[in-house]
Amino acid sequence: MTEERNIGGHYEVNVKLTCDFIKAAKNDDLNETIDYVVVNKIVKEEMSIPSKLIEHVAFRIITRFKNELKTIESVFIEIVKICPPIQGDVESVSVVIEEKF
C-alpha cells in the first residue's frame, strides 16, 4: 500500500537453518558451520529493500542463503508483518517458506 511505502512497517524475521556441524563441533571451527553474523547481515540487507510482497523478500533471503552459506542443508524462514494496515483487528500476518537443498 502507498502509505506503507511512505512510513514503513514493523517486521519480525524468524530463521531456522540446518547443516551438518559435526566437524565444527569437533574442531571448534566456524568455517564448518553457519556464521550467524552473515545470516543477520543477509536478512538486514534484504529487509531494507522496498518490496510489495513479504513472499518476495523471503525468496530473496533464501536465494542469498543458498549462494552464500555453503554448509546449509535446509532453511525455514518466517517473515511476520506486525499490525498490518488491513481492515479488522489483526495483530500480524506472516509468510513461511521451507526448503531443503
**3 pLDDT exceeds 60?**
no
Q: Can you list the pairs that 81-89 forms with residues at least 24 positions away whose Cβ atoms lie under 8 Å?
A: 81/9, 81/10, 81/11, 81/54, 82/9, 82/10, 82/11, 82/12, 83/9, 83/10, 84/9, 85/1, 85/3, 85/4
Q: What's the number of domains the chain is made of? A: 1
CATH of residue 84: 3.30.1130.10
| pLDDT tens digits, 37-61 | 999 999 999 999 999 999 999 999 9
Domain extent for 69: 2-100
| pLDDT tens digits, 61-76 | 999 999 999 889 999 9
Distance CA 87, CA 94 (A): 16
Mean pLDDT, all residues of the chain:
91
